Amino acid sequence: GEGEAQAAYLVEKGDAYAVASQDYDCLLFGAKRVVRNLAVNSNLGNLEYYELRHVLHELNITREELIEMGILIGTDFCDGLKGVGAKTALKLAKKDQLQEKLDELQKESSHDLNEVKDIFLNHNVNTDYKIKWNKPDKEGLVEFLCYEHGFSESRVVKASDKLKNLSSSQGSLDAWF
């Protein structure tokens, strides 16, 4: 939850292009753009890209309704209502019956659903951050991409070497001072 909220904030501020996550909660946190199934040799399926404004437009719902649908389906913060999936939740939104089902869920939930909704609308994030660019850590990059995410080591090393050669051949103003 906290990671998705922070990632959504980074995208909102323009410090990241999109959130890469398997978790649809990113959209509930207001992430403008979400990429799912981002891996090379993926058993996850095809790469998916969502823009929140398009999702809301296509479904003809508000972000608040999307959050309420998410709560009914189930989120990281509460279990959903038994028998309610994405299609049923959307039908409820179209029939203006979300609140009725949320009231039903509230009776059986140990969570205050208004507080859950508020988590998505008013999430706590670190607004006092700085993005610091350092020289790439080739060994760390290989470890992360190859051993944690299944990328080809030879291809990662080759690409890393190309980038290193490119950056060392590019001139900068520093060379003049």
pLDDT of residue 148: 83
Give the residue extent of every domain in the chain.
Answer: 2-121, 138-170
List, as own/partner pairs, every contact residues 147-155 make where C-beta atoms lie below 8 angstroms and the sequence separation is at least 24, other chains included: 149/39, 149/40, 150/39, 150/40, 150/41, 151/40, 151/41, 152/40
pLDDT of residue 175: 47
For the chain, which ranges sit under pLDDT 50?
A: 173-177
pLDDT of residue 152: 87
- Give the global pTM: 0.77
Quick: pLDDT tens for 24-73: 899 999 999 999 988 766 566 788 999 999 999 999 999 999 999 999 99
